[in-house]
Amino acid sequence: MPITPATLLIVDDEPTVRKLLEVLLQNQGYRTLVAGSGEQALALVEQQPPDLILLDIMMPGMDGYEVARQLKANGETSNIPIIMLSALGDHGARLSGLEAGAEDFLSKPVESGELWLRVRNLLRLKAFGDYLKSHSLMLEEQLQQRTIDLERFRSAMDASGDAIFLINRSTMQLIEFNRRACQVLGYTADELLRITPAQLSDASSEQLEQLYDQIIAGSGPSEPEETRLHCKGGAHIPVEIHRQAYKSAEDWIIVGIAHDISQRKEADQRMLKMAHYDTLTGLPNRDLFFTTLHMGLTQAALSHWQLAVVTVDLDNFKHINQTLGHLQGDQVLAEVARRLSDCLNASDTLGRMDGDEFAMILIIRQGQAGPQQMVERIREALRAPFPLAGQATAMTASIGIALYPEDGTQGTELIRHANTAMNRAKKLGGDAYGFYTAQINVEALARLGIETALREAVEQQAFELFYQPKVWVADGAVCGLEALLRWRRAGQPDISPAVFVPILERLGLLAQVGKWVIWQVCRQMALWRQAGLAPLQVAVNVSGDQITEGHLIAGIEQALREHQIEAKWLEVELTESSLMENTAHTIASLQALQQLGVRISIDDFGTGYSSLAYLRRFPINKLKIDIAFIREVTSNPQDAAIARTIIELAHSLKLQVIAEGVETQAQWEFLAANGCDQAQGYLFSKPLPVDEVEQYLCDGQGRR
């Protein structure tokens, strides 16, 4: 049913004041009546009683005090709330107004927010009072007279939009309720009759008994209580509940009227969110972020945790706004916020500070990963292209890190230091990060230097291939080579592949380098053929990324075709772990390679999954025993047993076996005695550059 707006009577002898109050109140949806004198006000009230009166004190003729006294003396109008208005600010004027019967007092000039609040509160109290009055009369009559018609009583309660409960104080049981109570709580009438008031409340039975006794004694709360009702299924609903006690024979009946304030709470939450959260990303804004940071610092100090403040500023974001527009820019910011949120641990906080600048609070407990791992996670998350205007656009960021307590103990200090580190990183050209602490920053800059040099090496194809010979275990004759990636920088110490290959993988460049390696190996085999050397099978290590990205087959076909190499002379080596990534796609890729004639080997066998089921499914030609088992194969019975088992397993599946890391004559003899097919290691040759491996082959050093 539609709700009729409240009618307010404005009584003031000044037209400008009347007009101002009319505008302020009509703007809030109220109907207004106006009177320029006390006599006119009384006449209007007699014709059309308003819901509330705004009454000026100082008027010619009958003043506001007299108007209030006459209204309060009349039983028909005594319940109309009055707010006195006066330019007199002294305590005596306020006291006189209250003595005349006014419920509230406002000083001129009236402040709009205070006016609306006072009016709304008094109207709510009047409506509630009227409501209780009507219900009180009805309930008192019906409870005192046992001859009432129960159905009429229920119909009257059911007409209410609020939930009404009747509770017997002696038994602490519900004895009656209206239809709205069932609707709000989700229970049927039969279910509700079996539930105690304590089951519907946050309070215990003892607390409710004490409260009901206070209400019966007249010392209970006079204002509605804000609380929660427990609904069926475990949900809760916020309510304002007013309780009254009525005598019924020898018992007391507690009447509770609960008004649903869910919408008001939701509105409050929306206002709170608008004040503390960024509207675009939904992240905490600067104010809430600093509040959270102060709380985090307090907790870190008490718990002796380390805390990191990380600031993230997008590189070249202004260019996106200028070229693609602010709408696209906002989409980028929202997506960045989502990706950064996905990087966080449960105890961490992400906020949007301003524009394209974000900040994080990382709580680092003992044993947890440090901020550098989080930064790497962030950079990896941002590297995935952003779809902008139909194109995939890469996004990078400059990141600064400050640590508590090393770099500061105050929130503003840590933010300032993180920004200093971030600005240093931005001066490096973007896609960089830095620590405020000097020593850690040196290490971070060194890592960034390696990353930058690796990117340049990939662009300039500045890598080199070494080749390590493989021999037949039976006679020591060379049976093939393994191509191994090397990166030598002029004037710099060499960096192990164990260091730079994982960095290439993290930068998403390993597949590109792997394609170059395959092409380079095929080119080298063609050159050896032209030089008159007998063809040898060359093994190339292939990463899971190369298989996943789906370009491996095409790259191998192109390299073989361009250099006119038969596929049987190329062998690809994969680790067991890479076989398990996207298994169906991996199997299909390896089957395609097998159809081409390319040989397939599992590298480092025995250190990963070693599942017989997968060995049967994958099209494999060879197993390579990991160096970890060969190193002590002659001194450790367990390693010897594992090596023998792998050889027997491979041969039972009609696979060849090669052992890597063979360094002693005793190891070679063990492998020969147990039927291993091939071997490689320093006993035969270390990895050699192209010119040295050519000399090795020409000199016939494959035999021992």
Q: Is the backbone peptide bond immediately before 109 cis, with ω within 30 degrees of 0?
A: yes
CATH superfamily to which 7-130 belongs: Response regulator (3.40.50.2300)
User: What pLDDT, on a 0 to 100 scale, did the predictor assign at position 633?
Assistant: 92
**Cα(669)–Cα(666) distance, integer angstroms:** 5
What ranges do the domains of the chain cover?
7-130, 149-265, 277-458, 464-696
Residue at token pair 């070679």 = 668
As a CATH number, domain 277-458 is: 3.30.70.270
CATH superfamily to which 464-696 belongs: EAL domain (3.20.20.450)
User: What pLDDT, on a 0 to 100 scale, did the predictor assign at position 569?
Assistant: 96
Could you give the 3-state DSSP secondary structure of residue 33? strand
- Asked whether the domain spanning 149-265 has the same topology as the one spanning 7-130, the reply is no
Given a cut of 70, the residues of the chain with pLDDT beneath it are 1-3, 88-90, 128-129, 132-159, 268, 272-275, 367-369, 438-444, 581-582, 606-614, 700-704
How big is the CA angle at 412 (ends 410 and 416), to the nearest 5 degrees?
115
Give the DSSP letter string of 432-454. EEEESSHHHHHHHHHHHHHHHHH
- Tally of CB atoms within 10 A around 222: 7
Residue 420's alpha-carbon distances to 129, 136, 424, in angstroms, are 62, 69, 6
Partner residues linked to 466 by β-bridges: 484
Four-residue CA torsion sign, 161, 163, 168, 173: positive
pLDDT tens figures, 557-584 = 999 999 999 999 999 998 877 777 667 7
Residues 6+ apart with CB under 8 A from 632: 639
Residue 56's alpha-carbon distances to 21, 65, 84, 93, 113, in angstroms, are 12, 9, 6, 12, 19
Could you give the 3-state DSSP secondary structure of residue 357? strand
The token duo for 329 is 């820019």
CATH of 149-265, one of 1.10.760.10, 3.30.450.20, 2.40.160.50, 1.10.3720.10: 3.30.450.20
Return the DSSP state at 6. Answer: P
The token duo for 359 is 């900040």
**Cα(530)–Cα(572) distance, integer angstroms:** 23
pLDDT tens figures, 585-635 = 888 888 999 999 999 998 877 665 545 666 777 888 999 998 988 999 999
Asked if 450 and 444 count as a contact pair (C-beta separation under 8 A), the reply is: no
The token duo for 256 is 């509770």
Could you give the 3-state DSSP secondary structure of residue 97? helix
User: What pLDDT, on a 0 to 100 scale, did the predictor assign at position 447?
Assistant: 77
What is the edge-to-edge ordering of all strands in the sheet holding 82-86? 31-35, 7-11, 52-56, 82-86, 104-107
User: What pLDDT, on a 0 to 100 scale, did the predictor assign at position 47?
Assistant: 92
Residues 6+ apart with CB under 8 A from 533: 694, 697, 698
